[in-house]
Amino acid sequence: MAKAVKGSRAESQDWSDQSQEIGRRARAAARVLAAASTNTKNDALVTMAAALRNSTDTIIKENAADVAAGKAAGLSAALLDRLALTKDRIEKMARSLDEIATLRDPVGEIIEGYKRPNGLQIMRLRVPLGVILAIYESRPNVTSDIAALCLKSGNAAILRGGKESLRSNLAIHKALSEAATSQGLPADALQMVDNPDRDLLAALLREDRWIDVVIPRGGEELIRAVAEQSTIPVIKHYKGVCHVYVDELGDLDMAEAICFNAKVQRAATCNAMETMLVHKNVAARFLPRICRRLAEAGVELRGDERTRRVWPQAKPATEEDWYAEYLDLVLSIRIVDDIQEAIDHIATYSSNHTDAIVSQDLKHVQQFVRDVDSSSVMVNTSTRFSDGGEYGLGAEVGISTDKLHARGPMGVRDLTTYKWVVYGNGQLRT
């Protein structure tokens, strides 16, 4: 619902005029993009990469202004780090554009095709979704990544970044957009919302006539707010409360390496382990070694009662701990009686993002793979691999925690839909 706008700026009606205009333009551009050749799109991507490199100084200057404003506004060091761009980071963004140019064009793929008894030839043809509204926070590299993924898949993009990175985003967008239009693509293929007002965003989220899908990336609060307000389908990217279950028939050396990697290699990511489940028959052997190693790496351990009998240094875990996405060097630990208890724990507390088993027993592995209803189920490897790049998707739109359309790491293919095409020679329905 649009809140009243303060001051002399505008009435709520004006936002819907503006959002409609943005949507209408995007739709017109989408019709052109859907018909653009792979070569045109790839040429544009390579030109956009070059434009980013050429605009490095301007982008860094604008970014410095964002960072200074962020510091003045008291942004945390972690947020400031996400916000800050360097020559190196811009080069990485450009390289990502070059890479996306080399990906196979998903548009035009015949997903399946067959002939019916009456002679009709039926096929499902992969086509762009149309218009994508991407909403994201601080990190300005998302601007070029999402822009490139939308373009490659033939979609018009409406980009709405965070207020704190607006100047950086506008500089990046200017470089990308000029490059794309120089290759003959419509200027509205890539629109950046230059007004950070939340009421404009709210108005955009109701343009279901012009916008086909909303992809929010950021904190849980942002995503929930978007999902509540939107009349457009939303592909959500919620949190990861990821588990590793160490089975009684697991290789404990492997389990130790996997659990350490899943927790410590990059604790702030959504695919890091937050809870470790350990079979009671191996707890006495396994817990002391992994707990010592984790503690030495600075991990705060919180265990259930049985865990604390084996590793008394652990703090007591509360019910909230089982639901928690720490995104930090904190780990909750629970001892379970058997694999079924581990599966039940995951069914209750997991966010169904990524959950792993360490076991050499085929029956247990099969049971875990079948019964754990998560977007990624890992066997004898780290939850940290749950990632578009690691899955070979080339570049990642995000990690969907929804079940519809796309689940888990989303690549460029997941920004498409299909149309049924039916060729006949005069068949009539009887």
Residue numbers at the binding site for its own copies (CB under 8 A):
31, 34-35, 114, 116, 120, 122, 125, 127, 129-130, 212-213, 227-228, 231, 233, 235, 251, 254, 257-258, 261, 265-266, 347, 369-371, 373-382, 384-386, 390-392, 402-405, 407-409, 417-430
Quick one: 18 or 376, whose CB is closer to its own copies? 376
Residues 125 and 419 sit within 8 Å (Cβ to Cβ): yes
Residues 362 and 279 sit within 8 Å (Cβ to Cβ): no
Closest contact distance (angstroms) between CB of 62 and its own copies is: 33
Closest contact distance (angstroms) between CB of 234 and its own copies is: 8
Closest contact distance (angstroms) between CB of 180 and its own copies is: 21
Cross-strand pairs, 357: 245, 379
Quick one: 254 or 295, whose CB is closer to its own copies? 254
Quick one: 204 or 346, whose CB is closer to its own copies? 346
Closest contact distance (angstroms) between CB of 37 and its own copies is: 11
Quick one: 59 or 324, whose CB is closer to its own copies? 324
Quick one: 227 or 329, whose CB is closer to its own copies? 227
* Residue 221 CA: distances (Å) to CA of 179, 238, 239, 395: 35, 9, 10, 25
Listed residue (419, 392, 416) closest to 106, CA to CA = 416
Listed residue (96, 99, 100, 87) closest to 53, CA to CA = 87
Quick one: 96 or 352, whose CB is closer to its own copies? 352
Quick one: 116 or 289, whose CB is closer to its own copies? 116
Distance CA(360)–CA(305), nearest Å, equals: 27
Distance CA(202)–CA(227), nearest Å, equals: 11
Closest contact distance (angstroms) between CB of 100 and its own copies is: 19
Closest contact distance (angstroms) between CB of 391 and its own copies is: 6
Q: Give the DSSP letter string of 203-242.
A: HHTT-TTT--EEEEES-HHHHHHHHHH-SS-B-------E
Distance CA(302)–CA(319), nearest Å, equals: 11
Closest contact distance (angstroms) between CB of 427 and its own copies is: 5
- N-term to C-term CA, the chain: 49
Q: Give the DSSP letter string of 282-345.
A: HHHHHHHHHHHHHHHTT-EEEE-HHHHHH-TTSEEPPHHHHH----SSEEEEEEESSHHHHHHH
